[in-house]
Amino acid sequence: MVAWLLSASCTLLLSLGAVADNWPFETYSTGPWTPPQIQVTKTGEVDPGYIFVGPRGNQEAGTAALIYDNNGDLVYQGPNEVTSNFRVQKLFGRDVITFWAGDMMDLGFGYGAVHILDDTYKEIYTVKLQEHFLTPDGKPRDSYIDLHESHVTPRNTLLVTAYNVTQHDLTEIGGKPGQYMLDSHFYEIDIPTNRILYSWSALEQEAEIPLHNSTQALGDAGSQETPWDAYHLNSVETTNHGFVVSLRHYWSGYYLNPDGSVKWQLSGKDGADFDAPDVAFSWQHDMRVFNETDEGLVLNLFNNANNPAERESVSTGMSLNVDLKNYKATTMRNVSDPNDDVYSVSQGNFQFMGHEGSNHTFMGYGSIAKVKEFDVNGNLVLTAQFGQLDATASYRGYKCGWRATPFWNPVAVAKRTSDNAANVFMSWNGATEYDNWAVYSAPSKDSNDTTFIDSYKRTGFETKASLSNLDTPYIQVVARQGDKPLRASEIINF
C-alpha cells in the first residue's frame, strides 16, 4: 500500500487542511478523553515500552500528548493542545517526559514553550525563549521556541530551535534586496533558570552555508507574511566537539565547531565533504549521533525523500558510518517496511532504542499517521496507525520505557442497572504501575468504614465491573499492584 500526500504548497508541512476525517475515536465513561483508536499489528517480538505520539488533524478530538501500550490501549492523555516531541528523556539522572506545546504556523514552524513533567505528571520546569524576534504577523509571542527540537543534553541543558523573520538581500537567488527570509536559530538553555547558554544563527554562517545551495526555491515567498525558508533547521545534537544540525532544505547535516563555524558537511545529494557514493537522502529529519570518536561516528536520520511538492522514493530510517580519518561515509542500515511503501512529505524520526537496552529501532512517519518498530535485523515487528493517512500527523513518534504514578486520584463512575445493582467504570489516567482494582462499598459518602466486595483485573484504560446485591449505594475503588493498594478514588454513589 502506498501512503502519499501531495501538495504544491509548503503549507501542508504542519497544517493538514480540511480533509474529511472518518477515523474512529475512543470515548470513556470516566472522563472526557477522546483519543484516536490506534490499530496495532504485530509481526514479530516487540520490545517493552510505550508508544508516545502527539496527533493533530482537522478536528479537536485526539489533539493531545498521548501514550499507548503495545496492545493499542490508551495509557495517558494530556490536555487538548497541539504538541510536538512528546517523549521520555533523562534530566538530572531521572526519567521525565518532555514536549513542546504552542501554535503551529502554516509556514512550517511554530511558537511555544517546552514542558517538563516528572513521574507524577507534575510540571517541574517550563522552558521559554524570549528574544527580539520578528513574526510573520508582526505580533509578539510569549515564547519563541519552535516545535522542531526540544532535546535534553547529557549536560542537563535543553537544545531548542527558533525561527526569526529577517530582512536580507536575496538577489543571489533571484530575489530582491530587503526581502524577508527565515533565519534558523538554535539555543542551548539552562533548564531551571531559562538562561541562554549558547546561540547559533544559520544566516551568520552564510559564507560556509551559502543561500544558493538551498534546495528550497524562492517562488512567491519573500514578504514578511510569507518569508523564504532557506534552511529549515529541524534537529540539533551535542557532540564531543560541538553540535550536529540537520538542515532539511540543504539535504545536509553540519558538524559545528564550538564557535559556530562549520567543521564539515555531509550531503545526501553529493556527499559534500565526504566520499559517499552509496549515501543518498533528501528532505531529512532527526539527525542523531552515536559512538563518536575522533576517528568517526554513526549518524542516524529519518530520510523523508519527499516534500509536499516532490516525490522521490520511499521514506526510510538510515544509519550512516562517518569515517573522519578518510572522510568517507557509507550506509550501514536503510530501514523500511517492504510491504508498506510510506512516502512522508514532512516531519518524522528514526529512533535507536539503545537507551532502553534494546537493539530495535522505532520510526515515526510524521505527516503519515503511522509508527513502526523494527528488530536488530531490520525486520518489521510492529505497525501502529492512529489516524487517517491524509488527515492526521504527529511530528515525531517514540517508543519509551516509562513508569508513572499520577498525583491525581483514580476516577470511578457508577451507572445504576437496578435498585441494588450497578456497572462501575474505573480508570487512572497516566498510571502504569497497577494491575487490578479492588471495589469497596461504604455506608455513606464520608465514611472511612468500607467493605471489600471483589477485585477486578485491569483491562485497558478503563475497567468495568458489574455489581449486584448491593446493600448501599456508595462505592469506592482502589488501584492496586497485586495486593498492594496504590491510590483510592473518591466515594461515589449511584
Is residue 3 over pLDDT 70?
no
Is residue 171 over pLDDT 70?
yes
Which pLDDT tens digit goes with each residue over 95-118? 999 999 999 999 999 999 999 999
Asked whether the beta carbons of 435 and 69 are under 8 A apart, the reply is no
* Section 243-250 average pLDDT: 98
Which pLDDT tens digit goes with each residue over 308-352? 888 889 999 999 999 999 999 999 999 999 999 999 999 999 999
Residue 252: all three cell numbers together: 545536509
Comparing 59 with 294, the larger pLDDT belongs to: 294
- Report pLDDT for 21: 72
182 — pLDDT class (breaks 50, 70, 90): very high
Is residue 248 over pLDDT 90?
yes
pTM of the entire predicted model: 0.95
Residues forming a β-bridge with 110: 104
CA-nearest of 259, 205, 256 to 231 is 205
Is residue 356 over pLDDT 70?
no
- Report pLDDT for 20: 57
- Report pLDDT for 422: 95
19 — pLDDT class (breaks 50, 70, 90): low
Taken in order 218, 224, 225, 227, is the CA torsion positive or negative? positive
- Report pLDDT for 60: 86
Is residue 16 over pLDDT 60?
no
Asked whether the beta carbons of 468 and 489 are under 8 A apart, the reply is no
Q: Is 365 left (phi over 0), alpha (psi -120 to 50) or beta?
A: alpha
* Sheet of strand 380-385, all strands in order from the earlier edge strand to the far edge: 39-42, 380-385, 370-374, 361-364, 349-352
For the chain, give the percent of residues with pLDDT over 90.
91
How many Å apart are CA 15 and CA 284, to the nearest integer?
A: 19
CB atoms within 10 A of CB 69: 17
Average pLDDT of the chain is: 94
SS3 per residue for the chain: CEEECCCCCHHHHCCCCCCCCCCCECCCCCCCCCCECCEEEECCCCCCCEEEECCECCCCCCCCCEEECCCCCEEEECCCCCEEEEEEEEECCEEEEEEEEEEECCCCCEEEEEEEECCCCCEEEEECCCCCCCCCCCCCCCCCECCCCEEECCCCEEEEEEEEEEEECCHHHCCCCCEEEEEEEEEEEECCCCEEEEEEECHHHCCCCCHHHCCCCCCCCCCCCCCECCCCEEEEEEECCEEEEEEHHHCEEEEECCCCCEEEEEECCCCCCCECCCCCCCCCEEEEEEEEECCEEEEEEEECCEECCEECCCCEEEEEEEECCCCEEEEEEEECCCCCEEECCCCCEEEEHHHHCCCCEEEECCCCCEEEEECCCCCEEEEEECCCCCCCECCCEEEECCCCCCCCCCEEEEEEEECCEEEEEEECCCCCCCCEEEEEEECCCCCCCCEEEEEEECCCCEEEEEECCCCCCEEEEEEEECCEEEEECCCEEC
CA-nearest of 109, 96, 201 to 152 is 96
Asked whether the beta carbons of 136 and 105 are under 8 A apart, the reply is yes
How many Å apart are CA 51 and CA 40, to the nearest integer?
A: 11
13 — pLDDT class (breaks 50, 70, 90): very low
357 — pLDDT class (breaks 50, 70, 90): confident
* Section 421-447 average pLDDT: 96
CB atoms within 10 A of CB 191: 21
Residue 348: all three cell numbers together: 518524522
Q: Which domains does the chain show, CATH number per domain?
A: 2-400 (2.120.10.30), 411-493 (2.60.40.10)
- Report pLDDT for 10: 42
How many Å apart are CA 169 and CA 182, to the nearest integer?
A: 12
Calculate the alpha carbon distances from 105 to 14, 137, 185, 326 in Å: 7, 11, 17, 42
Which pLDDT tens digit goes with each residue over 198-224? 999 999 999 999 999 999 999 999 999
How many Å apart are CA 452 and CA 43, to the nearest integer?
A: 42
* Section 109-128 average pLDDT: 98
CA-nearest of 16, 121, 27 to 65 is 121
How many Å apart are CA 155 and CA 129, to the nearest integer?
A: 19
Is residue 6 over pLDDT 60?
no
170 — pLDDT class (breaks 50, 70, 90): very high
